[in-house]
Chain A
Amino acid sequence: MSALAHGMRMDAALPADVPAMENSQALMQADGLCRLFGPEQGCQDISFTLYPGEVLGLVGESGSGKSTLLSTLSGRLPPDRGRVRYRDGADWVDLYATGEGRRRALLRTQWGFVEQNPRDGLRMPVSAGANIGERLMAQGARHYGRLRQSALDWLRHVEIDISRIDDTPNAFSGGMQQRLQIARNLVSGPRLVFMDEPTGGLDVSVQARILDLLRKLVRELDLSVILVTHDLAVARLLADRLMVMRRSRIVEAGLTDQILDDPQHPYTQLLVSSILRV
Chain B
Amino acid sequence: MDAILEVSGLAKKFVLHQPRPTVLDVLENVNFEISPGECLVLSGPSGAGKSTLLRLLYGNYLASSGSIRVRHGQGWLELVGAEPRRVLAARRHTLGYVSQFLRVIPRVTALDIVMEPALLRGYAKKAAQAKAEALLSRLDIPEKLWSLAPGAFSGGEQQRVNIARSFMVFWPVLLLDEPTASLDDKNRQIVLELIEEAKAAGSAIVGIFHDAHALDAVASRLLHMKNEGDSPHAP
A interface residues (Cβ-Cβ under 8 A, vs B): 1-3, 5-8, 10-11, 13-15, 17-20, 22, 51, 54, 208-209, 211-212, 215, 219, 237, 240-241, 254-258, 261-262, 264, 266, 269-270, 273
Of all chain B residues, the one with the shortest Cβ separation from A2 is B170
Nearest CB of B to A176, in Å: 16
Q: By the criterion CB–CB under 8 Å, are A15 and B59 in contact?
A: no
B61 & A261 in contact (Cβ 8 Å cutoff): yes
Q: Does the CB pair A254–B62 fall under 8 Å? A: yes
Known contacts A255-B87, A269-B16: A3-B201 contact under CB 8 Å: yes
Q: Counting CB contacts under 8 A, is B169 at the interface?
A: yes
Of the candidates A14, A20, A254, A262, the one whose C-beta lies within 8 Å of that of B124 is A14
17 contacts between A and B (CB under 8 A): A10-B134, A13-B126, A14-B127, A15-B123, A20-B89, A22-B85, A208-B107, A212-B105, A215-B105, A237-B105, A240-B84, A255-B87, A256-B84, A258-B61, A262-B55, A262-B62, A269-B18
Does A209 contact B61, Cβ atoms closer than 8 Å? no
Q: Does B59 lie within 8 Å of A258, measured CB to CB? A: yes
Nearest Cβ in chain A — how far from B169, in angstroms? Answer: 7
B contact residues, range: 35 or more
Q: Does B233 make an interface contact (CB < 8 A)? A: no
Question: Does A1 contact B202, Cβ atoms closer than 8 Å?
Answer: yes
What is the chain B residue whose CB lies nearest that of A49?
Answer: B83
Determine the chain A residues whose CB is within 8 A of the CB of B142 once the complex forms.
none
Instruction: Tell me the chain B residues, 79-120 only, with Cβ under 8 Å from chain A.
Output: 84-89, 92-94, 105-108, 118, 120
In whole angstroms, what is the CA distance A278 to B5 when docked?
A: 38
Task: Name B131's contact: one of A10, A17, A208 (CB within 8 Å).
Answer: A10
Partner of B86, one of A15, A17, A22, A212: A22
Task: Give Cα distance in the complex from A2 to B74, angstroms.
Answer: 12
Contact A240 B94, beta carbon cutoff 8 Å: no
In contact, A209 and B131 (Cβ under 8 angstroms) = no
Alpha-carbon gap, A3 to B172, bound state (A): 9
Q: Would you give the shortest CB distance from A222 to chain B, in whole angstroms? A: 11
B213 at the interface (CB under 8 A from A): no
A61 to chain B, nearest CB (A): 16
Residues of B contacting A13 in the complex (Cβ-Cβ under 8 angstroms): 124, 126-127
* Least CB distance, B136 to chain A, in whole angstroms: 13
Tell me which residues across on chain A come within 8 A of B36, comparing CB atoms: 1
Q: Is the CB of B85 within 8 A of A19?
A: no
6 closest Cβ pairs, A-B complex: A266-B17, A208-B106, A3-B170, A19-B73, A6-B201, A13-B127
Shortest Cβ gap from A209 to chain B (Å): 6
Distance between Cα atoms of A209 and B149 in the complex (Å): 13
Residues of B within 8 A of A240 (CB): 84-85, 88
